A and B are shown apart, each in its own frame.
Chain A
Amino acid sequence: MDLLLEGLKQAFNMFINGDPEIWEITLRTLKVSFTAIFISMMIGIPAGIFLGLSRFPGRRILLVLINIGMGLPPVVAGLWITILLWRSGPLGDLALLFTPTAIILAQVIVSLPIVTGLTSTAFQQLDEKLLLQIKALGATKIQFFIILMKETKLAIFAAIIAGFGRVMAEVGAAMMVGGNIRGETRILTTSIVMEVSKGNFDVALALSFILMGIAFIITFTLTFLQQRKRRI
């Protein structure tokens, strides 16, 4: 128990004294995670809408693949990306291994299926009659989508929250493709692993409080946005 209190105290100290390394790691974590979830949203939500509303051959197989992707273990994603990005690998010329971009890539790969899958589920659940009615009332394409987005708002936010949770929690792939390099690819989760292996449990706990604090604030904001009452 002493350790918990000590960790909490240290987390406060780190933040109040503005330990530059902690700030840097925290900022990098935010940057990497936000970029990853933003890319996942930009691709995943339109793809989910398309998969939810349209019917085409091979759609079911695609949905199966996306559902499998939701459970893709991050270390597996990390391993594949590492092999692709090796100097001797097919994408070696890009020199992306051990850069933040590689971490973002890994996080997009693990969060994209979640965002896409949950969005498409929401759109599949829409009542066919509602779709017909909106069209019958003469809605333009944009109006049509605005109404549907409103209908599925709860589910889309749930998709973003779930995807964001995956991104923030991810450590295996970030360790593998990022390499936990000080000042470059060290993020909160990988520093926690490193501090634990160094035996610095107090520092690891302090970092865990920071990580949880950030996750709390962001999830709180997203949930708040999600739960806002509609004003007509």
Chain B
Amino acid sequence: MKKMILVSLFAIIIVLSASACSNSTKSQPTEKAAAVEKTDLILATTTSTQDSGLLDVLLPKFESEAPYNVKTIAVGTGQALEMGTRGEADVLLVHAPEAEQQIIDSRDAINRQRVMYNDFIIVGPEEDPAQIRGLPVEGAILKIASSDIPFISRGDDSGTHKKELQLWNMAGIEPASVTSYIETGQGMGSTLQIASEKNGYALTDRATFLAQRDNLNGLSIVSEGDNTLLNIYHVMQVNENKHEKINSNGAKAFVEFMTAAETQSIIAEFGQDLYGEALFFSYTE
């Protein structure tokens, strides 16, 4: 009989711990709800804004100022835009201007505002085996394609991947025809780690590279500063007239928050203490 008691004790512990935890997590929102009812706001964004740590700085400020609880879903820009098209997110923070135009044209998203920019860079092994340092972007891509040094692509329809395909297109090369072209299908951080392990080249946004440089042995910037490498971020709200259950007020408040002067100065300062240079630059319309 003793083990029956033990078993039931175990079961009781499970139930108690479950209910105790759920109480503790639920108590937080209700305390705040005493003043204003908090509503959930789903933000679909790119991995770069989360992985660089920018959102960890901005979101607590937004949540303390406005009665919204932001649920951040950090995915590639392609998936974030798809979530917008399906009405699964309330507000989007993405970086693929051409793809964004489509979702604006289809009226799935409205109120698109420019927020900030940084730039894409091509990183590669310190010794630069394909010798692309100092070349313009197109020339660099051509050189990598004709060498057998691997080029590591995101391959995940993200903003960075879209930009990369645009560069290949400009150079007039079909990346699938390049034998040393590798698609990871993963986020920027993982892709950079693979580039570092395989001694290959990769296109990355500057913020993610700077934030992770310490873990990327032997990778350094080999091509930068070209006008085509500009990386522009826009924020937009999903159209409540086209989709159900959109938290439209929250989305509008978030767009306003992101373009506010105070937020812009936080963005401009972000990363300077840690990396010695800013990761994003203020860039409103």
Contact = CB atoms under 8 A, between A and B. Distances in A.
A181 interface: yes
B205 to A, nearest CB: 14
B189 A31 contact: no
Nearest to B187: A197
A179 interface: yes
A199 B192 contact: yes
A179 B72 CA distance: 8
A88 B71 contact: no
A191 B4 CA distance: 37
Interface size band for A: 35 or more
Contact of A181 (B71, B189, B216): B71
Contact of B14 (A34, A201, A230): A34
B243 interface: yes
B73 A98 contact: yes
A14 interface: no
The A interface is mostly helix, strand or loop, or mixed, namely helix
Given A87-B244, A88-B88, A231-B2, A197 B189 contact: yes
Contacts, number: 89
B10 A225 contact: yes
Nearest to B43: A181
B190 interface: yes
Interface stretch (B15-23, B157-165, B166-174): B15-23
A140 to B, nearest CB: 16
A84 interface: no
B212 A198 contact: yes
A35 interface: yes
The B interface is mostly helix, strand or loop, or mixed, namely helix
A184 B63 CA distance: 14
A149 B1 CA distance: 11
A92 B56 CA distance: 28
Interface in B1-60: 2-4, 6-7, 10-11, 14-15, 17-18, 21-22, 24-25, 40, 42, 47, 51, 56
Interface string B121-148: 0000000000000000000000000000
A6 to B, nearest CB: 12
A92 B243 CA distance: 12
A180 interface: yes
Contacts of B73: 98, 179, 181
A98 B69 CA distance: 13
A44 to B, nearest CB: 14
A56 B228 CA distance: 69
A48 to B, nearest CB: 16
B284 interface: no
Interface string B229-247: 0000000000000011100
B14 A38 contact: yes
Interface of B: 2-4, 6-7, 10-11, 14-15, 17-18, 21-22, 24-25, 40, 42, 47, 51, 56, 71-74, 86-88, 186-190, 192-193, 211-212, 214-216, 243-245
Given A182-B56, A228-B2, 17 more contacts: A30-B21, A38-B11, A38-B14, A38-B18, A41-B11, A86-B88, A87-B88, A87-B244, A95-B40, A181-B71, A181-B72, A197-B186, A199-B189, A199-B212, A200-B215, A225-B10, A228-B6
Interface of A: 27-28, 30-31, 34-35, 37-38, 41, 86-88, 92, 95, 97-98, 100, 146, 149, 153, 179-182, 184, 196-201, 221, 225, 228, 230-231
13 contacts: A30-B21, A41-B11, A87-B88, A88-B87, A88-B243, A98-B71, A197-B186, A197-B189, A198-B51, A198-B189, A199-B193, A199-B216, A228-B6
